[in-house]
Amino acid sequence: MKIYSWNVNGIRAVHKKGFLDWVAEESPDILCLQEIRVQEDQLIDKLKNIDGYNSYFNYGERKGYSGVAIYSKEEPLSVRNGIGIERFDEEGRVITAEYSEFTLINIYFPNGRSSKKRLQYKLDFHEAILEYCEELKKDGKKLVICGDYNIAHTEIDLKNPKDNEDKSGFLPVERAWIDKVIDYGYVDTYRSFHPDEVKYSWWSYRTKARERDAGWRIDYHFVSENLISQVSDAQILTEVMGSDHCPVMIELNI
C-alpha cells in the first residue's frame, strides 16, 4: 500500500496543472492533500469524485485558506475531522481516517512566520497534536502521521540553515518539538531509509529556489514504532511539479 502526502497550495490551482492526470498515472492507494484552499461549494465534481476513490474533505472556515483532503481507494472504517479543539479545528487542518491495520492522520501544520501570536498558535497546535496522537496510541492504534509539518528538523533538511536559525520553520523550539515526537516513539520514515540524503520537499516561489534546489524538507510521514517494521519504502518525489511542495510517499506491507 502506497500512501502519498502533498501540499498542493490550492487544489483548484494544481488541477489546472495536470493533477488528475498525475493521480491516474501514479495511482496512490491513499493520497493526503494539504492547503486545498477551497470551500465545498467551490469544489468541482471532477475533484470531489475521482474515479476509483472515496474522498473526504475538511474545509477551513476562512475562504481560500488551509483545508485538507484524503482520497482513498479503500473505504476507511471511520473518518473524523479535527481534534476536538475549536481554535484549531476552525482552520480545517486535520483529518483522521481509521483502517483495519492502521490509523492515518493527515495534518497541515500552521506556519508561524507572520507574528509572535501566530508562532504561539503553532506551538500550541504542536502540543495538542502530540496529545491527540498519544491518546490514539494508548488505544493500541498503529499511526501514520503525514503532512506539511512546516518544520525542517536538522541542518541537513534545508539548504541554508545558518541563515534561517531565527526564522519560524527552523527555530530551536520547533526543532525541539520534532525531537520530542521522536522521543515519544515516532519514526521519521524518510530518515529511517535515507539517514544522510539531502533532498527537499518545499521551495520558495519568490527566489526561483526550485531551479537552484534551495529548499527545505518539511513534509513528513512519521509512524508509531509499532508500525515501522511494516514500512518498506519512503521517498520524496522531487520531479513532480504543480505546487511549491512536491509529494512524499511511503509504502506499507499491508
Q: Cell 488551509 appears where?
A: 66
Tens-digit pLDDT profile for residues 24-41: 999 999 999 999 999 999
pLDDT at res. 206? 87
* The three cell numbers locating residue 5: 502526502
159-191 burial, b for 16+ CB within 10 Å, e for fewer? Answer: beeeebeeebbbbeebbebbeebeeeebbbbbb
Band of pLDDT at residue 62, cut at 50, 70 and 90: very high
The total number of structural domains that make up the chain: 1
Q: How many CB atoms lie within 10 A of CB 124?
A: 14
Half-sphere exposure of residue 79, counting CA atoms within 13 Å on the CB side? 17
Q: 145 with 222: CB under 8 angstroms?
A: yes
Q: Which structural domain range is residue 248 located in?
A: 2-252
Helix (H) or strand (E) holding 12: helix 11-15
Q: 132 with 126: CB under 8 angstroms?
A: no
Band of pLDDT at residue 15, cut at 50, 70 and 90: very high
pLDDT at res. 224? 98
For the domain that residue 179 is a member of, what is the CATH number?
3.60.10.10
Q: Is 221 helix (H, G, I), strand (E, B) or coil?
A: strand
pLDDT above 90 (res 125): yes
Q: Which residues are catalytic?
A: 148
Average pLDDT estimate for 225-231: 98
- In the chain, what percentage of residues exceed pLDDT 90? 98
pLDDT above 90 (res 240): yes
Q: How many CB atoms lie within 10 A of CB 248?
A: 29
pLDDT at res. 207? 87
Tens-digit pLDDT profile for residues 171-215: 999 999 999 999 999 999 999 999 999 999 999 998 899 999 999
Average pLDDT estimate for 158-171: 97
User: Angle CA(21)–CA(199)–CA(253) in degrees, nearest 5?
Assistant: 65
What's the mean per-residue pLDDT of the chain?
Answer: 97
- In the chain, what percentage of residues exceed pLDDT 70? 100
Band of pLDDT at residue 144, cut at 50, 70 and 90: very high
**What residues contact 215, with CB distance under 8 A and at least 6 apart?**
158, 159, 200, 201, 202, 203, 209
